[in-house]
Amino acid sequence: MIEKPAPRVELHPLSTADQQEFCALVQASAELHHPWMQLPATEPDFHTWMTRFEDGSNLGFLIRVRDTGAAAGMININSVIRGRYQGASLGYAAFAPSAGHGYVSEGVAAALHYAFTELRLHRLEANIQPANTASLALVRRLSFHYEGLSPAYLYINGAWRDHERWAITAPAPWTPDPSLPKI
C-alpha cells in the first residue's frame, strides 16, 4: 500500500549546501551503517558523491523532521530507467541521532508516493543484505515483495555482499506515459 507523505517528515532535495550536516551525521552513524552501507563522511567524498545526481538519473533527499527540521535520514532514488521499464532502485538510511522513531519508514513512504505520482515510475526495488533485519522489516511494512537473492551484488566496505531483492509496483490504476513508443 502506498501512503501519502507522513505528517511528521518531509523530503528535501539533497544539495551541496547540506555537506557539513550530512557528513557529521554520517560520521555519528558509522556504527549504525556498518556493514550495510558506505556513505560519504568527508567533504571531498561528499562532493564526489553529489556528482551522481547531476544528470537526473539519480535523486537524493534528506528526510527532515517537520517539527524540528533535523535530518533524520536520507533516501536515494537511483538509476531511474524510463521507456518500457519506468523503474528505479531505492536506497535509504537512518541517521543515528533519530534512529528508531519511524522517520525513515515515513520518509520511504513519502518517496514511494513521490516516485509513483510525480516521477510516474511503475516499479521500485530495494536491495538489502540478508542480515539487515531493520531494513527488511521496513520494506515488509511498506508492502514490498521478495523477489530473490542476488549473490555478491554490491561491493560495500571492502567485500562483495549478497542482497535480497525486494520490489513494489505502483498501485492500480497506473498507465504508462502516452508519449512512450508503442510496439
Query: For 61-78, what is the mean pLDDT?
Result: 96
Kindly report, residue by residue over 27-51, the tens digit of the pLDDT: 999 998 888 888 999 999 999 999 9
176 lies in some domain = no
Give yes or no for residue 3 having a pLDDT over 60: no
| Domain span at 165 | 9-169
Q: How many domains does one find in the chain?
A: 1
Burial grade of 105 (CB within 10 A; 0-12, 13-18, 19 or more): buried
The Cα 101–Cα 99 span in angstroms is 6
CATH number at residue 20: 3.40.630.30
The Cα 33–Cα 48 span in angstroms is 20
How many CB atoms neighbour CB 133 within 10 A?
10
Is residue 15 within 8 A of residue 61, CB to CB? The reply is: no
Structure pTM? Answer: 0.88
180 lies in some domain = no
